Amino acid sequence: MNPRSPRRRAALCAVGTAVLVAVTTATAPAAPAAATGGELTAEEFRPQLVTVDTPTREDKRLLQTLGLDLTEHAGHDYVEVVLHSPADVTALLAAGLSYAVRIPDLLVREAENSRVNAAYAAATTTSPLPSGRDAYRTLADYDADMAALERDHPDLVELITLPHRSLDGREIHGVEIGADVRGPDRGLPTFVMLGVHHAREWPSGEHAMEFAVDLVENYGNDPRITDLVNRSRVVVVPVVNVDGFELSRTDGGLVDLREVDQGGTGTILGTPGNAYKRKNCRLVDGQDTPDGTCRAGSLTSPGGYGTGVDLNRNYGGYWGGPGASDLFADPTYRGAAAFSEPETQNIRELVSGRHVTTLITNHTFSNLVLRPGGVAPDQVPPSEGIPLGDPYDEAALKALGDAMAAQNGYTSQHAWELYDTTGSTEDWSYNATGGFGYTFEIGPDEFHPPFPQVIDEYLGAGEHAGRGNREAYLLALENAVNPATHSVLTGKAPAGATLRLRKTVATPTWTGSIEDTLDTAMTVGPDGRFTWHVNPSTRPVVKDRQVETVSSEPVAQETFTGTTLPLQSTDSEFTVDRDADLFEIVLDWPTPDDMDLEVYRKNADGSLEQVGGSGNFVGEKERVLLQDPAQGTYVLRAINFASVAPTWTLTASLFDAESSSVPGLVENWTLTCEVAGQVRQTVPVVVDRGQQLRVDLKACGRR
């Protein structure tokens, strides 16, 4: 089976227990062949959540090429993955990646959660959530709750239907919240909150919906919320992927039956359950299959996960690049083209038709606040030919990300720091419009945990009690209305005139570009004055860029040689005694077999903290790269796993990088002023983030 050393062997637990097992240590013995899934049929196999060891970035990239269902729960040396079939197990083992099973049978876990949820709901009349709900909503519940919000607060809430129906023929709804929501658009900034791009991530819709209820119920009572709602329009679409969610939410129930009926009947076993479906209901690219056929179509793949497009890889921003698959059956399948799916088209049109100054798209899980970019800054999209670098607004994006993470206790970081993704929601929305965009990964360890955890994550628990995502979202809404983070146009124009801002631009995909048309409008108030909160005219993606190039000559270098017998290791010490941009450690030896390298930093008390490691395949040499290494003493550990030539060479080098700047472009909005359907004036408008610009529209008032 596994070609690797014992450290690399998969630590597999028996399938079928309902306990959440602790991650077993890497030295656990190999399990019998049956437990690898290799002898189970696809129907017998139960989906598992496993932790795959990825000590190096190369390991992460290798893992990404396997077409497995990666979660966002990942750290610098691991990624959690859902295994759906015996073939998934085989792929992981063949790649030589070691893993430990964390939830051995997700379907049993599903049944267990259902029991906890039923017990909680039975014991609870009203939860502390804004809505008082004590259980996950179904799709029908979402629609009913949104309709009720509108019915009970008609001046404050408008139910909206997004322009495109889902592939299975469903309408997709949201709510728009604002003072005098049915009145004309007076140019307030829009805050967008999205949920359930990924079918199984139920809390992502719950939090979006609860935030909508929170704003509406507290409007007029809570001065902070009243002020925020008065100064914005808030659009909440709690379930973007309605088809996938409906399947995940309702097919999970079958799991209960199967567990009760151990061994199962043909029918039930033939329905593996869609509780862990991720993608949408695309069954064949380019074809809209008949409405209502998604459920049947999904049965062709285990857990329904093989069919569909990953909506969070289908947006246009760097679409087609790393961290997204071009294979239909893969969990991160990007779709036939950028925005090929009705669900992403809906969000594209929503964001292109307003000034969305801040957007949050909710996912589960991993307790993260992720900001752009989706791809590491050293990567070079062929469409641009230069490294991506950090997003133009990195400082401001980080400040808000950190502030939000301080409320919910999550980790604030770039999306790419876990693994690369392209075609995600904010990869597009930020690049195309300049509006701030974040992905929240809600909850510590499950796609849809027991419901009480959803409540804790929303309201905050423990040291975050009273804050949680509720407070983080409020900070995001405060950012959305803060003119310092967007742009403002002011002036005078005929009362009732329609002002439009338009821009047609090319948004880079990975290898080419797509055309985006941003087309927005507002109505001048009866006093003939306007204040329009808008996104900056120049998109971040065409702004000037700092590019780091590592110099070819090291500024310091030391070479060590040594002899280490099999299954032993040797430590060498190297001191980083200056500021450097890059620390490279390379381990080389003469035979094509197996040594590994681990790098530690020595703490003041002499203890060692691992800061890097490299365990490549047999025959490959080992290399660790550390960016901006802290000064101090490092221990470089050469480990002989299976090398017949015990003599090795270690080279430690420090490099500086040169920063150069690539000039940017200036873009303008085209502003038109219309009276009675006639364009009376057209002006180009160039406005930067944080700027307030007075626009002279006198000509619009003249006949």
Could you tell me the strand order of the sheet in which 556-563 lies?
556-563, 647-655, 582-588, 622-627
344 binds ligand 0X9 (CB under 6 A): no
Strand partners, 645: none
The CB-of-439 to ligand 0X9 minimum distance in angstroms stands at 4
439 binds, among ligand 0X9, Zn ion, none (CB under 5 to 8 A by kind): ligand 0X9
The CB-of-374 to ligand 0X9 minimum distance in angstroms stands at 3
* CA-wise closest residue to 425 among 535, 279, 314: 314
207 binds Zn ion (CB under 5 A): no
> DSSP characters for 221-262?
TSHHHHHHHHT-EEEEES-S-HHHHHHHHHHTHHHHHHHHTT
3-state SS assignment for residue 493:
coil
46 binds ligand 0X9 (CB under 6 A): no
Q: Going by C-beta distance under 8 Å and a sequence separation of 6 or more, which residues neighbour residue 401?
A: 369, 370, 371, 412, 413, 438
The CB-of-362 to ligand 0X9 minimum distance in angstroms stands at 9
397 binds ligand 0X9 (CB under 6 A): no
**φ, ψ (nearest 5 deg) of residue 336:** -70, -25
* Residues 280, 1: Cα–Cα separation, whole Å: 35
The CB-of-198 to Zn ion minimum distance in angstroms stands at 3
The one among 335, 342, 374, 536 contacting ligand 0X9 by CB under 6 A: 374
Site pattern 59..88 for ligand 0X9 (x: CB under 6 A) = ------------xx----------------
Strand partners, 52: 79, 99
439 binds ligand 0X9 (CB under 6 A): yes
516 binds, among ligand 0X9, Zn ion, none (CB under 5 to 8 A by kind): none
84 close to 45: Cβ distance less than 8 angstroms: yes
431 binds ligand 0X9 (CB under 6 A): no
| 260: alpha, beta or left? (left if phi > 0; alpha if psi -120 to 50) | alpha
Number of residues that bind ligand 0X9 (CB under 6 A): 15
Q: Amino acid letter at 385?
A: G
The CB-of-311 to ligand 0X9 minimum distance in angstroms stands at 9
If the CB atoms of residues 365 and 574 are measured against Zn ion, the closer one turns out to be: 365
71 binds, among Zn ion, ligand 0X9, none (CB under 5 to 8 A by kind): ligand 0X9
415 binds, among Zn ion, ligand 0X9, none (CB under 5 to 8 A by kind): ligand 0X9
Q: Which two tokens stand for residue 639?
A: 């480990």
Cα separations in angstroms, 609 against 102, 601, 624, 639, 688? 25, 5, 15, 17, 44
379 binds ligand 0X9 (CB under 6 A): no
363 binds ligand 0X9 (CB under 6 A): yes
The one among 199, 236, 370, 654 contacting ligand 0X9 by CB under 6 A: 370
If the CB atoms of residues 201 and 210 are measured against Zn ion, the closer one turns out to be: 201
> DSSP characters for 452-467?
HHHHHHHH--GGGTTT
Q: Amino acid letter at 44?
A: E
554 binds ligand 0X9 (CB under 6 A): no
363 binds Zn ion (CB under 5 A): yes
The CB-of-73 to ligand 0X9 minimum distance in angstroms stands at 7
Residue range at the interface with Zn ion (CB under 5 A); choices 196-204, 300-308, 601-609, 634-642: 196-204
Strands 411-414 and 436-442 come out as unpaired
Task: Establish whether 441 is a catalytic residue.
Answer: yes
Torsion of CA 224, 225, 226, 227, to 10 degrees: 50
Q: Which two tokens stand for residue 146?
A: 């949104």
If the CB atoms of residues 178 and 373 are measured against ligand 0X9, the closer one turns out to be: 373
421 binds ligand 0X9 (CB under 6 A): yes
427 binds, among Zn ion, ligand 0X9, none (CB under 5 to 8 A by kind): ligand 0X9
433 binds, among Zn ion, ligand 0X9, none (CB under 5 to 8 A by kind): none
The CB-of-37 to ligand 0X9 minimum distance in angstroms stands at 22
312 binds ligand 0X9 (CB under 6 A): yes
- Long-range residue pairs from 515-520, CB within 8 A, at least 24 positions apart, any chain: 516/316, 516/352, 516/432, 517/352, 518/352, 518/353, 518/432, 518/433, 519/352, 519/353, 520/353, 520/354, 520/355
The one among 109, 165, 198, 545 contacting Zn ion by CB under 5 A: 198
The number of beta carbons lying within 10 Å of the beta carbon of residue 694 is: 10
The CB-of-425 to ligand 0X9 minimum distance in angstroms stands at 7
* Residues 332, 314: Cα–Cα separation, whole Å: 9
Q: Which of 441, 457, 584, 598 is catalytic?
A: 441
Cα separations in angstroms, 489 against 121, 384, 532, 540? 50, 32, 5, 19
Strands 69-75 and 157-161 come out as unpaired
Residue range at the interface with Zn ion (CB under 5 A); choices 84-92, 198-206, 366-374, 642-650: 198-206
If the CB atoms of residues 97 and 324 are measured against ligand 0X9, the closer one turns out to be: 324
If the CB atoms of residues 347 and 595 are measured against ligand 0X9, the closer one turns out to be: 347
Number of Cα atoms under 13 Å in the Cβ half of residue 576: 27
Handedness of CA 544, 550, 551, 556 (dihedral sign): positive
The CB-of-113 to ligand 0X9 minimum distance in angstroms stands at 18
616 binds, among ligand 0X9, Zn ion, none (CB under 5 to 8 A by kind): none
The CB-of-305 to ligand 0X9 minimum distance in angstroms stands at 12
Report the helix count and the strand count for the chain, using DSSP H and E: 16, 29
684 close to 478: Cβ distance less than 8 angstroms: no
The CB-of-413 to ligand 0X9 minimum distance in angstroms stands at 10
415 binds ligand 0X9 (CB under 6 A): yes
Q: Which two tokens stand for residue 650?
A: 């270690």
Residue range at the interface with ligand 0X9 (CB under 6 A); choices 265-273, 422-430, 570-578, 692-700: 422-430
* Residues 601, 581: Cα–Cα separation, whole Å: 17
193 binds ligand 0X9 (CB under 6 A): no
The one among 165, 198, 277, 545 contacting ligand 0X9 by CB under 6 A: 198
Please report, as ranges, the residues that interact with Zn ion according to CB under 5 A: 198, 201, 363
Q: Which residues are catalytic?
A: 441
Please report, as ranges, the residues that interact with ligand 0X9 according to CB under 6 A: 71-72, 198, 201, 312, 363, 370, 374, 415, 421, 424, 426-427, 439, 441
